[in-house]
Amino acid sequence: MSTRTRTADTARTADTVPEIEISGLHKSFGDNHVLRGIDLEIGTGEVVCVIGPSGSGKSTLLRCVNLLEEPTGGRVVVGGTELTDPDVDIDAVRRRIGMVFQQFNLFPHLTVTENLTLPQRRVLRRDKAEAARVAAENLQRVGLAEKADAYPSSLSGGQQQRVAIARALAMGPSVMLFDEPTSALDPELVGDVLAVMRMLADEGMTMMVVTHEMTFAREVADRVVFMDGGVVVEDGTPGQVIGSPAHERTRHFLSRLLDPAMAEVEEGRGGPGPG
């Protein structure tokens, strides 16, 4: 699978039609104001990686995009349909949005193929033969055609996550959301999952990825968004945000992420924390 390197010259940010539009987004859990007025657009076919320290609001932002979390205020528009409109058919809009979580959420008592066909048949009303065909196509896409009859317990964590991606793809989404898709994996299993995500990026899938994988963000993202304290601190190309960040908060986060040994020394001296 090929990789693509995004630079300021090649990033597709200028002339793309917004597939995701977020404006004035707020989210509170009781007295905890997690998102504080997020404004963000993602163009059709863009790959945007969202980075930031734990507790910065990254995952909450992602979950607000398909209303797994109900925003406290603001608007979310996907594919021209406002999800925050009280009269929206949210189930219809969600069919356009695939989501991959940290955990794989596969049904342990079903085979890989059955895990892919069940949501197709229940949500999209596809017949058994059509659902099986689509399942086989997407297992082939993620390199797991030979695991069609296997059960999740016989698969590695990386294989289970690729099955979860195939399951999302089988629904025919126009947008894919990834919430730290490699954080639960052993390091040696991360590469295969990231390779599938690179493939989707090369195919032009619109992707919003919450991640700590800086190499992936550098090589695959069109834009990188750094969040802290529930706000967007920086938004730009990987070269700008990761290579030459403008804000001290971003520089501090990246220095700790890219040089953990230095972070440990800093903590030992009573230096500031990441968030």
201-230 pLDDT, tens digit per residue, is 999 999 999 999 999 999 999 999 999 999
**Is the Cβ–Cβ distance between 186 and 152 less than 8 Å?**
no
Which one has a higher pLDDT value, 272 or 113?
113
pLDDT digits (tens, 9 = 90+) for 141-185: 999 999 999 999 999 999 999 999 999 999 999 999 999 999 989
Name 200's Cβ contacts closer than 8 Å, sequence gap at least 6.
165, 169, 176, 207
pLDDT at 252 over 80: yes
Separation of alpha carbons 250 and 14, rounded Å: 24
pLDDT at 31 over 60: yes
Mean pLDDT for 44-68 is 95
Mean pLDDT for 43-64 is 96
Q: What is the pTM of this model?
A: 0.88
Sheet holding 73-78, edge to edge: 32-43, 18-29, 73-78, 81-82
**Is the Cβ–Cβ distance between 163 and 153 less than 8 Å?**
no
Separation of alpha carbons 172 and 96, rounded Å: 7
Tokens 């126009």 -> residue:
174
Secondary structure class of 207 (helix, strand, coil): strand
**pLDDT recorded at residue 15:** 52
Separation of alpha carbons 215 and 41, rounded Å: 23
**pLDDT recorded at residue 258:** 76
Q: Kindly give the pairing relationship between strand 47-51 and strand 81-82.
A: unpaired
**pLDDT recorded at residue 16:** 58
The angle formed by the CA atoms of residues 242, 213 and 261, to the nearest 5 degrees, is 80
**pLDDT recorded at residue 272:** 41
Task: Please give the single-letter amino acid code of residue 162.
Answer: R
pLDDT tier at 187, thresholds 50, 70, 90: confident
